[in-house]
Amino acid sequence: MPSVLPILFVLVIAVGLMACAALFTPKGPQQVLIRTSLMLALAACYLMWMVTYLAQLHPLIGTPPSTA
């Protein structure tokens, strides 16, 4: 049964990974860069996955016909 739960589940995972990136990036001249990049990348990827999943959750167009 399609539900919204996976979205929240993966959100928790993504936020957790972002927190890890925030806390555990090694100190160094590039720390800010690496940290920002990792967090942004995680956030962007989650966003795109979430939108894709959500769009297919309850599809409005009935069913895809195929001519194959």
Partner 1 sequence: MSDDYPSLLRSEQMSLVQLFVPTEVAHDAVAELGELGNVQFKDLNPNVNPFQRSFVGEIRRVDEMGRRVRFFSTQIEQEKDVVPIRPLYDSAPLIVVGPRAPQAMDELDVTLAAHEQRLTQMNESYQKLSERTKELIEARHVLRETAVFFDKAHHQTDIRTSFDDSSAPLLQHDDRENQYSVGTGVQFDLEFVAGTIERVRVPTFERVLWRVLRGNLYMNHTDILEPFVDPVTGAETRKNVFIIFAHGDALLAKIRKVAESMGATLYPIDANADKRSESLREVEGRLEDLQNVLYNTGSSRRTELTKIGESLRSWQDVVRKEKLIYETLNLFNFDVRRKTLIAEGWVPTRDITTIQLALRHATSRAPACLPFYMSFTIMDSYGVASYQEVNPGLFAVITFPFLFAVMFGDIGHGFIIFVAALYMILAERKLARVDLGEIMGQFFYGRYIILLMGLFSMYTGLMYNDIFSKSLHIWHSAWDFPSNTTDTKIVGIDNGHRYSFGLDPGWHGADNNLVFVNSYKMKMSVVLGVIHMTFALCLQFPNHLKFKRPIDIYANFIPQMIFLQSIFGYLVICILYKWSVDWSKATTQPPSLLNMLISMFLSPGKVDPSEQLYAGQPFVQVVLLLLAAICVPWLLVTKPYLAWKDMHKIKEQGYVSISGEGDGNGIHRNSSDEVLEGEEEGNGRAIAEDGDDGEHEQHDFGEVVIHQVIHTIEFCLGCISHTASYLRLWALSLAHAQLSEVLWSMTLEAWLEPTGVFEWIVLIVMGVFWFVLTVFILCLMEGLSAFLHALRLHWVEANSKHFEGGGYAFTPLTFANPDSKE
Token couple for 51: 């939108």
CB distance 18 to 39 below 8 Å: yes
By rule CB under 8 A, what count of residues binds partner 1?
37
By rule CB under 8 A, what string of x and - marks binding of each residue 37-66 to partner 1?
A: x--xx--xx-xxx-xxxxxxxxxxxxxxxx
Q: What is the largest CA-CA distance in the chain?
A: 58
Q: Hey, what's the torsion of the CAs at 20, 24, 27, 28, to 10 degrees?
A: -50
> x/- binding map, residues 5-44, to partner 1, per CB under 8 A?
-x--------------------xxx-xxx--xx--xx--x
Q: Where on the chain is the footprint of partner 1 (CB under 8 A)? A: 1-2, 4, 6, 27-29, 31-33, 36-37, 40-41, 44-45, 47-49, 51-68
